[in-house]
Structure 1
Amino acid sequence: MKLLWWVWLYAAVIMTWGWWWQRRHQNIGVVDVLWAKGVGASALLLALLGDGAAAPRIALAVLGGLWGSRLALHLWHRVRSEPEDGRYQHLRAHWNGHQGKIFGFFQFQALLIVLFALPFVAVAHNPQRDGIGWIVGAVAVWLLSVGGEAVADRQLARFRADPANKGKTCRAGLWRYSRHPNYFFEWLHWFTYVLLAVQSPLWWLAWSGPLVMYVFLRWVSGIPFTEAQALRTRGEDYRDYQRTTPMLFPWFPTRTPHSPKEPSP
């Protein structure tokens, strides 16, 4: 657990830099980039310094590091090429641009990096040397979840890039079956480390990943903020989307007399 102090120190430093960057560029969205980068880096650090068997630690470094890098690069592209996300514009306005509160928000995200590093601690201390089956299962979950999230991100980016879609809701591809397919696959991704931690003395810590991620996505900073912003900008079109499309777990949409026809992916 002492290794988590190093994770926190690293996270606090990069979030301080992120706060400075947002002051210059007026874009709080960089906090999401640094969160993904920080969690991915913590997987590498804990895999390197852990005392468990080599196989689960190598899997942790590769899978956790690649996940964090992909997500950080995707988010960085959005932050650099688009105006500040409406959710953060609303937050900045709510705080009247108070930099002390914004700094506290960034440092809170540093603590969240430590929280989401807990599953990696369980994997890094896993002594199991013959758990190749669990590693194969973890890789399968990782490929499905990270691949699904990448597809959802590309579909949404393609939809948003078309000026004709301004003010409209994306119902293409995976977004036809879930209002937040990217969040669903992000949540699913955390089961990767549950499988890698099988037979670890700290196996129970690995469950904090999917449990805490679900709580944050469902009730704290994910879906509530995203849907509030969508209602502010898309109004009745998004209300219809809420009525017809499952919130998180993908399923077939229902139809109402007011539902527009879903476009093809």
Structure 2
Amino acid sequence: MSTAWLVQKRTGQGGWADAFWSLGLGAAGVGVALFPIDGAAPSLRQYLAALLIGLWGLRLGSHIAVRAAHEEREDARYARLREDCGAGFQVKMFGFLMLQAGAAAFLALSVMAAARNPAPGLTLQDAFATLIFVGALVGEAVSDRQLAAFKRNPANKGGVCDVGLWAWSRHPNYFFEWVSWCAWPVFAININGEWPWGWLALTGPAYMYWLLTKVSGVPLLEEHMRQSRPKAFEAYAARTSAFFPRPPRR
């Protein structure tokens, strides 16, 4: 994350921090999934877990990197932090990124618990977990594409994206991000009780939900929206669920 700090300092785009974090967590997940702790060859479940978390990191990291490289305006969360901290922004940012590194290490434990489930072969439980993960990955990618298309249309300037999945949730990308982490406990928990460490994977979705809804996701973005386009956002918020998708109110 030190590299992320240097890049955002040089470019003035705090969003690079999220790109490096996603790629780094993806790489860490692959590492903990495949690392030969007992000297044995990796199992099919280990390879599957490594593949999924690797795809997750590449997809999210590349999406954020492209956005940071091409958008002139900085991510609203980091722009607000820069404004609030003034001359002390870079010191605060470095500390924040070190905390992010710790968060990535904590989340990687869920991947490790899932990959190390000693149940033989791959089961229907693994298939269900894979379905959850892939479905969430697709849902998040669709959400990101819909938002990007909305922003590209000059007619939408000053408005709030309320098309497609964004009509059902104010943060469908965050929702599907959280769902992807819900797949790891399904991989990890051995219903026969032979892998008690599998329960550790529950910390991943719990921690991600807290981060997204209480810390650095929903609260900061919605505060920015209320300040930058209050009327449009309040109307949108009145008819649209904050996180969990549901049909819009009429």
Counterpart contact for 1:231–1:238, Cα < 8 Å: yes
- The answer on 1:177 being equivalent to 2:168 is yes
1:17 aligns with 2:8: no
Which residue number in structure 1 is paired with residue 45 of structure 2?
A: 56
Q: 1:128 and 1:173 mapped to 2: Cα distance?
A: 40
Compute the TM-score of the two structures, normalised by the length of structure 1.
0.87
What are the within-5 Å matches in structure 2 for residues 76-155 of structure 1?
A: 76-82=65-71, 83-98=73-88, 99-155=90-146
Q: 1:28 aligns with which of 8, 14, 35?
A: 14
Aligned residue for 2:246? 251
2:63 to 65, 74, 78: 74
**Displacement, 1:130?**
3.5
Inter-partner Cα distance in structure 2 for 1:119 and 1:58? 15
Deviating above 6 A after TM superposition, structure 1's stretches of 4 or more consecutive aligned residues are: none
Aligned residues: 241
Confirm or deny that 1:167 pairs with 2:158.
yes
Q: What CA distance in whole angstroms lies between the structure 2 residues aligned with 1:106 and 1:243?
A: 34
Q: Does 1:42 align with 2:54?
A: no
The residue identity in structure 2 corresponding to 1:79 is A
Deviation sequence 1:97-154 (CA, Å, 0-9, x none): 4221111111111111111111012123211114421211111101210000100110
Stretches of structure 1 lacking an aligned partner (at least 5 in a row): 1-14, 256-265
Matched residues in 1 for 2:93 and 2:172: separation? 29
Cα 1:57/1:87, change in 2 over 3 Å = same
2:207 is the counterpart of 1:212: yes
Secondary structure of 2:69 counterpart: helix
Alignment RMSD = 1.3
Between the aligned partners of 2:99 and 2:222, the Cα distance in structure 1 is 22
Contact kept in structure 2, 1:22 and 1:28, CA below 8 Å: yes
Q: Percent identity?
A: 39
Match of 1:234 in 2: 229
Is contact 1:149–1:186 with CA below 8 Å preserved after alignment?
Answer: yes
Q: How far is the alpha carbon of 1:205 from its aligned partner?
A: 1.0
Amino acid at match of 2:75: D
TM-score, normalised on structure 2? 0.93
